[in-house]
Structure 1
Amino acid sequence: MDRRESLRTLVMGGMASSFFLSSCVTDKESPIEEGDIIEEKQGYGRTPAEIERDEDLMSETFFTEEEMAIITSLADIIIPEDEESVSATEAGVPEFIEFIVKDIPEHQLPMRGGLMWLNRESSKQFNMPFVETSKENQLKIIDQIAYPQDFEKTSPGPTFFRRIKNLVVTGYFTSEPGIEYLDYRGNTPNVWDGVPEQVLKKHGLKYEEDFLKVAMDPANRGEVMNWDDYEI
């Protein structure tokens, strides 16, 4: 099983539920009034206060260019491109992580510290920063902290890797390409063909023919039924 399929299995199996993140800000003193929800181009409803906060966070920058370069490399190591879907970077995962650490500040210190540690470890082992060393050398370090049985027990590397892996998985599988890869359908209604015939016969009931022609016509399944036209 490859890396991407392993992550997909975790998500679909429900084992990754703790990965998914929510905003750390709640405003209990400002209840949402009817009509406050605004449908944004991103495809989800936001209140005016939430929109303003999102814009404020997006106008700020937390990671340096060097840090973002490391995050980009790590994201594509964790979820690379394959024949079925795009890489984490193409799905916008580095930008997602940049937003999340501003939205949930508790990630900031561990993430920045972990990126610094990764650069130091790369310099220690290969005499150059992480993004400048070869892909082979990058993978050697990642293997050490992803499977740390023989790595230094006091090293912060494995803890950092778990954090960024969770962020990458969350960002990818909540992106449009990630959701498409999971084949997640959401609240898609099933096709209902009415009460089974044997159940109707058991209770001495049957559908009116005129009702069947309208309500059970496959061509009308996308329309909203006007029940006032029928006696129930």
Structure 2
Amino acid sequence: MADTLLDYETEAAHYDETRGGVPRAEAAAGAVLRLLPPGARTLLDLACGTGLVTERIAGTGLRVLGADAAHAMLRTAAGRLPGRVVRADARRLPFPDASLDAVCAVWLLHLVPYTGEIVAEAARVLRPGGVLAVTVDKDAAHDVGSDIDALLRPHRSAAAAHDLAGRGGARAAAHGLAPAGATAFTGHGQGATPRGTARRLRAGHYASWFRGDAVTTDTLAGALAALPDQDRPRADPEYRLVAHAKPVP
């Protein structure tokens, strides 16, 4: 799923190696599996990207499908999951009503402003008893308790985030989905560095939650540049994954 801040067509070539690779993907897949309903047989991975996480979910015997909007991402995913990926907008899925046991969206909702439409579409394709599992509060998971966090946290705007757990729960409830559990997993290899954070800040990667004008951005980037150990990664983030189920009549 592409967003306006990051070009996933060009990111595909080096996406996995810069996002924690296999350890991070295995942790994410394990978290998704912990939230699936008993007896689940089919799962759709929304914004599957290169299919690294999707492939690991599929290794458990589930019938797993992947969907993404970026051609380059899907080319890589198709090599991992031949015949099981499709190019699709998460708001308009090419699947019938009540046709899937589970839908997951790992690292998607924080990117887009139309999370309600994604939740509505997932609810449509889920069978009764099916589960939607999504990551929440992604940006807030980074750098918690670190010197980077101490600089950025006062400038985070909760109102601007699209994947807030509370807001997501309200959206799920509006489409008939009920809370069905939560878990967490480690974002291996995703500990931020001051230099990298400053670069991402200037590039607009944090626009979904950052409140501040160009002057504030420059000031924060300067403060990040003054931190020690510019290229030492801080602690890996702990991501949260929550599930919502479609009630059985």
TM-score where L is the length of structure 2: 0.23
Structure having the higher helix fraction is 1
Which of 1 and 2 has greater Rg? 1
Bigger relative contact order, structure 1 or 2 (CA pairs below 8 A, ≥6 apart) = 2
Structure having the higher strand fraction is 2
TM-score where L is the length of structure 1: 0.24
